A and B are shown apart, each in its own frame.
Chain A
Amino acid sequence: MHKIELPRRNFIGLGLGSALQAMFPEYAFAAERAALSGRAKRVIVIFEQGGVSHTDTWDPKPDAPLEHRSPFKTIATGVDGFYVTELLTETARLAKHLTVVRCMTQPTPGIGNSHPKGSQYVYSGESPDGPVEMPDIGSVVADRLGSSTPYLPANILLPGTDEQADTSRIGFLPPAFSTFKTGGSPANPTWRVANLGLLMGIDEKRFLNRRDLLSSLDVGFSHAGQPKDVEAMRALMNQATDMLTNPKTRRAFDLSAEPSSVRERYGMGHRGQCYLLGRKLIESGVRYVTVDVREPENSFRDGKQVSYPGGGNMNWDHHDAIYSTSHTNIPNGGAGAGRYGIGTWPMMGSLDRAFSALIEDLSRSGLLEDTLVCLVSEFGRTPRINERQGRDHWTHAFSYIFAGAGVPGGQVVGSTDRDGGYITSSMAYTLEDYAATIYEKLGIDRSKPLHTPTNRPIFLAAKGKPIPELF
C-alpha cells in the first residue's frame, strides 16, 4: 500500500470557521478510506458543454435507419468489442485506458434538459430543483480535502465562459471554496491569469520592497488576543504573497515552458491548449480541475489569430445542420445557429486531438495512476435527425468516458438500442451516480453530511451510488 499523504489544512479556508475545524479530525479518516475505496488524488473533468451527440461519437449505431444514421463510419479500437466513430480516430488507439459508460441517463426528464440547468446538474452532481442550492462538486472537494499545493487554489475552472456565472455555484458553502476561474484564452500568446501574475509596472523587486515597507508599518494595530479574522487575514496575506512571488505558481500556468512538440500534440488551438493547461495544473497538484472550453469565433492557432466565421457560440448544441462542414447558420434555422458541424476542427477535430493527447500524456507520466479523468456533457442528442438536419436534446441515454485512478481500461459499460435512444442494459447510471463516483474515488466519506448555515444536513450525492464498473 502506498503512503497516504494527509491533506494539508485548506489554505483558502485557513482558520475560517469552526465548522471546518470541527471537520478536521475526519480528514485522517477520509484519507484512510481513500486507500480502500479509490485511488484518485486529483480529478480532471472535461466538461464539453451543450450536449455532445453520443451516436456520432462514443456510441456508434451503424444499424440505425439510414435517414437518421450518423454519416461517420464506425471504427474498431485496439480493444475487442469497443467501437467508436471515425471522429475519434486518435482517441480510439488509446481505448485500452478508457471506460465508456453508454448507459448514462437523467432520471427525471425535464429537470436538466436545458443548458443552464443541465450544466448546473453536471457541476454539482445534484438535480438543480432541490430545496437547497448545491455547491459544485469541485467546491465540495476543496472544502473536504483542501489543497495539496499551498501556492495554488484547490479547485480551478479553466478557462470558463460567461455561462458559468449561472451554472457553477458555491451554494451554501463559504465563498473561499468557490472555483477559481482563469478566464481568457490560453492559446493567446499574451494570455495570463488575472491577479495571479503581478500587475504591470510592479516587478518582483518592487513588490518585495512594498511588502517590506508594509511589514515595518503593520505595527500600530493592537487588538484583543488573537481575533480569528485578523489572524486569518494576516496568514492569507502571507499566502497570497507566496502565490504572487512563488515561481511554481507561474510555472503551473506557463504554457510556453512546454516543448513545442507537446503543445502541437494537444493541438495548437484554444481547446488543445486548455486541455494541456489542465494537465499542467493536475501535474502541479491541483486537486480538482474543470476544463470547460468552447472554441471562440476569433481564436488562435499556432500562436496566430484565426477566425471561424459564423461560429459565435461553438458548443455542442447542434440543433441545426449538425453535419455542416463549416458553420450551422442555415435559412429558417432554429436554436442551433452559431456552431460548427460536429466533424469540423473546432469541434470533434480538436477534441479528438486534445483528449487523446491528454490520456497519452497522463499515462506516460504515470499520473493516470491516481488521477481520475472524466469526459462529460449535460446530455446526448436525439437519435433522429430533425427537419433542420440537426439533433435535439436527449436525456434518456448518453455516454460518459472515464480513465485513470483505478478505472479499468478497454471497458464498455451499458448499451443502448439500435438507434441509441434508450438504454437496453440492465444497469443505467445518473449524474448523481457520476458525482458519487468522484467522491468515492477521492475517498470522501459520503456518510458525513455537509451543513447549510441553518444547520440542515446535506449528504453528498445522496441519491447516487458509485458506478461499480469503475472500481
Chain B
Amino acid sequence: MSCLKTTVGIIAALLAVRANATPNTPFALKNVTSLEVSPKRIGLEGRRDAQQIVVTGMVNGEPRDLTDKAQFETTKQGVVRIQNGRVEALQDGKGDIVIRVGGLVARLPFTASYYSKRYPVSFETETLAILTKQGCSTGSCHGSPHGKGGFSLSLFGYDPRIDRVSLTRDGYNRRINAIEPLESLMIKKPLLAVPHVGGKRLRKSDVGFRVLRDWIAEGASTEISTLHCESIALTPSTSRVLEGEFKTQQLRVTAQFSDGKARDITPIATYTTSHPAVAEVTPDGKIIAKERGQTAISVRYLDKFESLYITVVEPVKGFVWRPVIENSAIDKKVNQKLRQLKYLPAEVCGDSEFLRRLSLDLTGLLPTAETTLRFLKDTSPNKRAKEIDSLLESEEYARFWALKRADLMRVSPRQLTEARASRFSAWLVDSVRKNMPYDQFAHAILTAQGAEAQAPSANYFLGIRTPEERTEMTAQIFMGTRVECTKCHNHPFENWTMRDYYRIAAVFARTKAGDGRVTLASVGEVLHPTTGEKMSPYGSPLSSPEPVDRREGFAHWLTAPANPLFARVEVNRIWADLLGRGIVEPIDDFRSSNPPSNAPLLDYLAQEFVTSGYNRKHTIRLICNSQTYQRSTQSNAFNVQDNTLFSHAKPRLLTAEQLKDAIGMATHTLPSPTLSPQRVEEAKAELTAHHNALDRLLPLWLAQAEEAAQRLPIRQGAWRIRQASPVSDPQRALKEAGVANLPALDATSLWIRRPDYLEQTQNTLPSAESSSNEGHSLTTMARRIFSDRPRSIKIRWSAELARLWLNGAPLSSDPIQGEREIALPLRGGENTLHVLVATPPDRPAFQYSLKPPFNSTMVGADKERPLTAAIVEALMVPVSSRTSEQAQELREFYQADGESNAIRQRVASLEARMDYATQRPYPELSSFTATFGQPQRDTACTCERRGAPTLLQALELLNGQTAYQRAQEGVGYYSKRDNSALIEELYLAAFCRYPVMKERVAALKFLSERSNNREQAVMDLLWAVINTQEFLFQH
C-alpha cells in the first residue's frame, strides 16, 4: 500500500573514537555515548549538488540530534564547504569530513566530481518542487481550481502539462523572460518587485530563487522527462523526542529516482507541521521545538509524502508523577504518555457518574431509577465489570451500536425504501447482537450479492450506486480515509493519488445494483479521467487474471491482519464512541500528517483487536474496564490543559437520540425498552382475544358479504396468469396465437393466482414477473368479469405488444402496439377477458384501466373497507365448494379490520422500538432530532453528526414542544408522589444519584410554595431538571 511508511533511514554507525573531552564541552554532551552520521559517504556530482549531514548521538539512552552542535572539518582544504551540516563542492577532489562532538569523533569520506559540467535545472523534479515549496501551487493560491489572478497551476504540481502551459504560454508570455531572467513575472511577483496579491513569497537568499532564476536563464525548458521520483526517505525515520538542550532536529531528505540514483532534496522539499504551536520547521528542514505537545512534521516532494512524529517535552513547575492504579495495558500506555508530557490523570469517577456514563455509552439510554438503586446498593468489588458485561449482552446495546454503524452506511428511507432500510438495519443489529467478527462483517458488506430481501447487506450497494461514491464511502468507513480529494487531484496531505482512487473505483465497476438486488456484470471498467488508462482493481495484483468478483480481492486485502488501517480505524472509532474523542481525530481522517495522540495505545488496541478475532465486544469491554474510561470529568492543575491524552473525562452533549430518549425516561413518559418484549406479548394476546371475539360473528359476516357481492353490478375475478415463456419473434407469436391456444380458466395447474393485482383500477404487471433476461417473453392472463346485464365499458391499456379477447372473440385482428382504448362489450352474467402480451426485458409488461372503474361494496362493522376482487370471487363460490384456502382467505379478510390492523401496527412498532430514538431501525428525523444534529445519513462522514451546541438547540430545550409535552405528560406519574419521594425519584431517573441538600431544599421550596397549583409546579420542576447542564451532558 502506497501510504505505508516505507522510509528506511540511510544511517550508518561509524566508528566513534573518544578523544579528550575539551574543558568547555557542555554538560549534556559529556554523556554522549555513540555517534551516528548520515549519510555514510558523500558523492557530489556537479556544482549544484549538495548533501545534508545529520549527526545523531545517544545521550542517556535517547537518540539526540547533534548536527548543530558538531564541528565539521575536512582533511582536504578547498574541495568542499560545510555550512550547518550541508556539504557543497568547490572543485573536484576527495577526502574525509571529520566530525567532532562531545569528545567523540567520526569520519565521513567524500568525493566531488564533474564540477565544471553543467547540469541544467529540471523542470519536473526541481522547478515544480520549488513552486510547491514557495506556496505558489497550494490550494489557497494558484493551485486552486480557478487559479488566482488569472494564473493557474496544478495543485502541488500533480500535472506538469498544465503547469508547462501556464508558465510558458499563458499571461502573454510575460511570466518567463529568458533573456532577462530577473524581469520574468515568475521572479518579480513573488519577490514583490511588482504588486502581488499573495505577498512576498521569495527572497533572493532562498534556494528557490536560484532554482527559478537558473531554470529561466537556461531557457525555461519544460521537457517532460522520463525520470520520476519513486519514493522519498527521511533521516531520522522514526519519531523523536525534543527536550532540554536538544530542542532541534535536522532532517535529511533523499529521493529515490527511477534511474536508480538517490539525490539529496532537503532544500527543495516542502515542510509542514500539524501543530505549529508545538514545533515548527525551517525551509532547510530543521525542526525547532516550541512548547510541550506532539506534532507531525510532513515532507512533500512532488507527489510523494512522508511524516515524522515529534514529541516536545518541557519541565512543568511543581509536577511530580504520582503512581496510580492501572487496570490494564490501556492504562499503562495512557499513563506513560501522560507522564512523559507531564500531566496527572484525574481521579476515578463515582458510581453514579460511572453508571450514567456507561449506560449512555453502551445502550444510548439512561438507566431506570430501579437499576440505579440496585447498582448503588451493590457492594461487590467487581460490580462495574459485572454491569459492563450485562449491558454488553443487552438488546439495547445491539440496537444502539448498530445505529452508529447505520449512520455511516446511509440506512435511511431517503436512500433506500422504508422496508429496505428496516431490513438492512435489522441485519446490522443482528451482526452486533451476535458480535459478528468485524472482518467477516466487512466482508459480508463488501461482497454482498443477490436480492436484498435475502441478503440485506446488499443494501450497502443499493444506497450508493456509482463506483466513485462507493470508493469514497468504503474508504471512509473501513479505511478511515478521506479520498474524495483524489477524485480530481492527488491528495494534498497524504500519499493517496488519483490512480489509487480510480483503482478502488475499479473494484466496484462491475457491481450492479437495482430492483432490490446486487448482481455482478461481466463487463465494466473505470478509466483514469486524465490519462484514459484502464484501471486495475485495487487490492488485486496487476498481473492476476480477471477474478469472478473483483471485490473479493479488495475485501481480502482490506481485512488482512497486516492491513495498517482496517483494525486501527475500527478500534479508534470504538475508542471515540466511548471517550468522546479519537486517538486519531477526526476519526475518519487517518493520514501520516494527522498523528495519533498516543500511537502505542492505538497499536496495542489494534493488535488486541486482531488477535481476539476482530471482536468488538472484547475491545469495548477492555476499554470500559480501564481506569482511563472511568476517570472523572473533574480536572486538576496538572491536566486541565490536556484535551487529547485522556487525562480526564470529557463532558459531551447527549446526541439527538440519547437526549430524546433521556427526556422521555426521566419524565417517566417513555417506558424502559427492556419492557418491550413483554409489551409485545401483551399486544399479541390482545390481538388473539380480538380475533376470537370476531370469530364468533364470522358466519353472520359471511352471509352479509355473500349477499353484498351478489348485488354488485360488475364484479371481477382475480387474474390468472401463466408464467412467461421466451419467444424469438413476438410479432409473429402474437399473430399466430388464436383463441384455441388459450387455456381454459380452470386449468389451475398452469396458473398462478395473483389476487393482489386487482385492487386498483390501474394495474401494472411488473417486469420481474413477466420477463426473462433474454429477448421478449410471452405472458398469458385471463380474468372473469361478471355483469348484471349486457353493457359496454371502456378498456384502455398500454403495452409493448398485446392481443385481447373477450369471451373467446379477438378485440382486434392484429397485435396492438403502445396505447389503445376500446370498448369492451360485456354480456349479462359471466365474461372472460384474455390477454396475451409480449414484453422486452426490464419493462412493465401491461398496464390497463377499465372505465368506469369497478364498483365494490362494503359490509359488516368495518364499513371503510371495500371487498376486494379476490374476496368477491371467493364469495361467489358456494360455501360447499369453497376450498379451504378460500375459506381461510375470507376469514383473514374479515379479521383484518381496523382494530386488528391497529393492534398489528402496535406490535410491529413495539418490535421495531419505533418510540425510541436510540433503538429504532432508521432515524425519525423530527425537527427535534434534526436540531440536535441527527445526521440525515447522506454521507459516510461522522462529521455529519454535528456536536457543537447551537442557539436553535437552546431555543428548542427552553421553549420547544418536546420538552414541554414530556414535562406535561410526566406530571401524571410524578404528582402522585409526595414531594420528597418525587424529588428523589426524579433525581435518580435523571442523574443516577440522590439530590444534594441544596437541590432538595430548592425543589421542595418551589413545590410547597405552589401547592395550590401542584400539577403546574411539578411540570415546571420536570422542565427545569431536563434543562440542567448535568442532564444535557454525558459526564
The reply to whether B651 and A214 form a contact with Cβ atoms under 8 Å apart is: no
In this assembly, does B487 line the interface, its C-beta being within 8 Å of a C-beta of chain A? yes
Q: Using an 8 Å CB-CB cutoff, how does the interface string of A194-209 with B read, 1 for contact, 0 for none? A: 0110110010001001
Output the nearest chain A residue to B633 by Cβ-Cβ distance.
A223
Interface residues of B in 937-951 (CB under 8 A from A): 941, 943, 946-951
Interface residues of B in 999-1035 (CB under 8 A from A): 999, 1002-1003, 1006, 1016, 1020-1021, 1023-1025, 1027-1030, 1032-1033, 1035
CA of A236 to CA of B652 in the docked complex: distance in angstroms?
Answer: 16
CA of A153 to CA of B999 in the docked complex: distance in angstroms?
Answer: 34
Contact of A222 among B139, B586, B633, B957 (CB under 8 A): B633
Contact of A244 among B650, B652, B949, B958 (CB under 8 A): B958
In this assembly, does B713 line the interface, its C-beta being within 8 Å of a C-beta of chain A? no
Q: Which of A153, A176, A206, A221 has the most CB of B within 10 A?
A: A221
In this assembly, does B648 line the interface, its C-beta being within 8 Å of a C-beta of chain A? yes
Give every chain B residue within 8 A of A449 (Cβ-Cβ).
140
In this assembly, does A11 line the interface, its C-beta being within 8 Å of a C-beta of chain B? yes
Q: Quote the shortest CB–CB distance from A202 to chain B (angstroms).
A: 8
Of the candidate stretches A258-266, A328-336, A457-465, the one touching chain B is: A457-465
Give every chain B residue within 8 A of A12 (Cβ-Cβ).
950-951
CA of A131 to CA of B485 in the docked complex: distance in angstroms?
Answer: 9
Q: Using an 8 Å CB-CB cutoff, how does the interface string of A217-247 with B read, 1 for contact, 0 for none? A: 1111111110101101110110111011000
The reply to whether B1035 and A456 form a contact with Cβ atoms under 8 Å apart is: no
Interface residues of A in 166-188 (CB under 8 A from B): 174-176, 180
The reply to whether B140 and A457 form a contact with Cβ atoms under 8 Å apart is: yes
In this assembly, does B703 line the interface, its C-beta being within 8 Å of a C-beta of chain A? no
CA of A176 to CA of B633 in the docked complex: distance in angstroms?
Answer: 26
CA of A16 to CA of B956 in the docked complex: distance in angstroms?
Answer: 18
The reply to whether B1006 and A213 form a contact with Cβ atoms under 8 Å apart is: yes
In this assembly, does B256 line the interface, its C-beta being within 8 Å of a C-beta of chain A? no
CA of A16 to CA of B485 in the docked complex: distance in angstroms?
Answer: 26
Known: A213-B1020, A219-B999. A244 touches B959 (CB 8 A): yes
In this assembly, does B99 line the interface, its C-beta being within 8 Å of a C-beta of chain A? no
The reply to whether A221 and B959 form a contact with Cβ atoms under 8 Å apart is: no
In this assembly, does A190 line the interface, its C-beta being within 8 Å of a C-beta of chain B? no
Q: Using an 8 Å CB-CB cutoff, how does the interface string of B478-511 with A read, 1 for contact, 0 for none? A: 0000101101100001000000000000000000
Known: A214-B1027, A244-B958, A462-B146. A176 touches B1020 (CB 8 A): no
Q: Which of B485, B949, B1023 has the most CB of A within 10 A?
A: B949
In this assembly, does B815 line the interface, its C-beta being within 8 Å of a C-beta of chain A? no
Interface residues of B in 910-962 (CB under 8 A from A): 933, 941, 943, 946-961
The reply to whether A241 and B948 form a contact with Cβ atoms under 8 Å apart is: no
The reply to whether B640 and A224 form a contact with Cβ atoms under 8 Å apart is: yes
Give every chain A residue within 8 A of B1024 (Cβ-Cβ).
210, 213-214, 217
CA of A214 to CA of B954 in the docked complex: distance in angstroms?
Answer: 14
Chain B interfacial residues counted at CB < 8 A = 68
The reply to whether A220 and B485 form a contact with Cβ atoms under 8 Å apart is: no
Q: Quote the shortest CB–CB distance from B210 to chain A (angstroms).
A: 29
The reply to whether B999 and A220 form a contact with Cβ atoms under 8 Å apart is: yes
Q: Quote the shortest CB–CB distance from B871 to chain A (angstroms).
A: 37
CA of A456 to CA of B484 in the docked complex: distance in angstroms?
Answer: 11
In this assembly, does B964 line the interface, its C-beta being within 8 Å of a C-beta of chain A? yes
Contact of A175 among B933, B959, B964, B996 (CB under 8 A): B933
Output the nearest chain B residue to A16 by Cβ-Cβ distance.
B948
The reply to whether B1029 and A233 form a contact with Cβ atoms under 8 Å apart is: yes
The reply to whether B1030 and A218 form a contact with Cβ atoms under 8 Å apart is: yes
Give every chain A residue within 8 A of B714 (Cβ-Cβ).
none
In this assembly, does B204 line the interface, its C-beta being within 8 Å of a C-beta of chain A? no
In this assembly, does B697 line the interface, its C-beta being within 8 Å of a C-beta of chain A? no
Give every chain A residue within 8 A of B89 (Cβ-Cβ).
none
Give every chain B residue within 8 A of A256 (Cβ-Cβ).
none
Q: Quote the shortest CB–CB distance from B130 to chain A (angstroms).
A: 21
Known: A210-B1023, A218-B1029, A220-B1030. A174 touches B948 (CB 8 A): yes
Q: Which of B197, B649, B948, B999 has the most CB of A within 10 A?
A: B948
Output the nearest chain B residue to A218 by Cβ-Cβ distance.
B1028
CA of A177 to CA of B634 in the docked complex: distance in angstroms?
Answer: 32
The reply to whether B951 and A153 form a contact with Cβ atoms under 8 Å apart is: yes
Give every chain B residue within 8 A of A229 (Cβ-Cβ).
651-653, 947-949, 1033
Give every chain B residue within 8 A of A426 (Cβ-Cβ).
none
In this assembly, does B144 line the interface, its C-beta being within 8 Å of a C-beta of chain A? yes
In this assembly, does B787 line the interface, its C-beta being within 8 Å of a C-beta of chain A? no
CA of A221 to CA of B1032 in the docked complex: distance in angstroms?
Answer: 10
Known: A227-B651, A230-B1029. A236 touches B959 (CB 8 A): no
Known: A220-B999, A237-B1027. A199 touches B961 (CB 8 A): yes
Q: Using an 8 Å CB-CB cutoff, how does the interface string of A1-31 with B read, 1 for contact, 0 for none? A: 0000000000110001100000000000000
In this assembly, does A365 line the interface, its C-beta being within 8 Å of a C-beta of chain B? no
In this assembly, does B431 line the interface, its C-beta being within 8 Å of a C-beta of chain A? no
Q: Which of B485, B960, B995, B1029 has the most CB of A within 10 A?
A: B1029
Q: Using an 8 Å CB-CB cutoff, how does the interface string of A129-142 with B read, 1 for contact, 0 for none? A: 00100000000000
Q: Which of B652, B999, B1024, B1025 has the most CB of A within 10 A?
A: B1024
Give every chain B residue within 8 A of A453 (Cβ-Cβ).
586, 941, 943
Output the nearest chain B residue to A236 by Cβ-Cβ distance.
B954
CA of A455 to CA of B144 in the docked complex: distance in angstroms?
Answer: 13
The reply to whether A221 and B1030 form a contact with Cβ atoms under 8 Å apart is: yes
The reply to whether A222 and B953 form a contact with Cβ atoms under 8 Å apart is: no
Known: A229-B651, A240-B959, A462-B146. A220 touches B1028 (CB 8 A): yes
Contact of B482 among A174, A230, A454, A463 (CB under 8 A): A454
The reply to whether A241 and B958 form a contact with Cβ atoms under 8 Å apart is: yes
CA of A131 to CA of B649 in the docked complex: distance in angstroms?
Answer: 38
Output the nearest chain A residue to B956 by Cβ-Cβ distance.
A195
Q: Quote the shortest CB–CB distance from A3 to chain B (angstroms).
A: 28
The reply to whether B948 and A227 form a contact with Cβ atoms under 8 Å apart is: no
Q: Quote the shortest CB–CB distance from A250 to chain B (angstroms).
A: 13
In this assembly, does B849 line the interface, its C-beta being within 8 Å of a C-beta of chain A? no
Q: Quote the shortest CB–CB distance from A64 to chain B (angstroms).
A: 37
Give every chain A residue within 8 A of B996 (Cβ-Cβ).
219-220
In this assembly, does B118 line the interface, its C-beta being within 8 Å of a C-beta of chain A? no
Q: Using an 8 Å CB-CB cutoff, how does the interface string of A82-108 with B read, 1 for contact, 0 for none? A: 000000000000000000000000000
Contact of B1029 among A234, A455, A462 (CB under 8 A): A234
CA of A232 to CA of B1016 in the docked complex: distance in angstroms?
Answer: 30
CA of A457 to CA of B148 in the docked complex: distance in angstroms?
Answer: 13
The reply to whether B651 and A223 form a contact with Cβ atoms under 8 Å apart is: yes
In this assembly, does B635 line the interface, its C-beta being within 8 Å of a C-beta of chain A? yes
Give every chain A residue within 8 A of B589 (Cβ-Cβ).
454
In this assembly, does B998 line the interface, its C-beta being within 8 Å of a C-beta of chain A? yes
Q: Quote the shortest CB–CB distance from A169 to chain B (angstroms).
A: 11
The reply to whether B948 and A230 form a contact with Cβ atoms under 8 Å apart is: no
In this assembly, does B836 line the interface, its C-beta being within 8 Å of a C-beta of chain A? no
Contact of A462 among B144, B488, B950, B964 (CB under 8 A): B144
Output the nearest chain A residue to B139 by Cβ-Cβ distance.
A457
In this assembly, does B538 line the interface, its C-beta being within 8 Å of a C-beta of chain A? no
Q: Using an 8 Å CB-CB cutoff, how does the interface string of B441-479 with A read, 1 for contact, 0 for none? A: 000000000000000000000000000000000000000
CA of A131 to CA of B468 in the docked complex: distance in angstroms?
Answer: 13
Output the nearest chain B residue to A459 by Cβ-Cβ distance.
B144
Q: Quote the shortest CB–CB distance from B968 to chain A (angstroms).
A: 9
The reply to whether B1035 and A223 form a contact with Cβ atoms under 8 Å apart is: yes
CA of A235 to CA of B197 in the docked complex: distance in angstroms?
Answer: 39
The reply to whether A225 and B640 form a contact with Cβ atoms under 8 Å apart is: yes
In this assembly, does B991 line the interface, its C-beta being within 8 Å of a C-beta of chain A? yes
CA of A216 to CA of B1016 in the docked complex: distance in angstroms?
Answer: 18
Interface residues of B in 948-996 (CB under 8 A from A): 948-961, 964, 991, 993, 995-996
Known: A223-B634, A224-B651, A243-B951. 14 other contacts (CB 8 A): A198-B959, A199-B959, A202-B959, A220-B999, A224-B639, A224-B640, A225-B635, A230-B1029, A240-B954, A240-B957, A240-B958, A240-B959, A244-B955, A459-B140
In the assembled complex, 10 residue pairs joining A and B whose CB atoms fall closer than 8 Å, in A order, are A12-B951, A153-B951, A198-B959, A210-B1024, A217-B1002, A219-B996, A224-B648, A232-B948, A244-B955, A454-B485
The 3 closest A-B pairs by CB, nearest first: A224-B635, A240-B954, A221-B1030
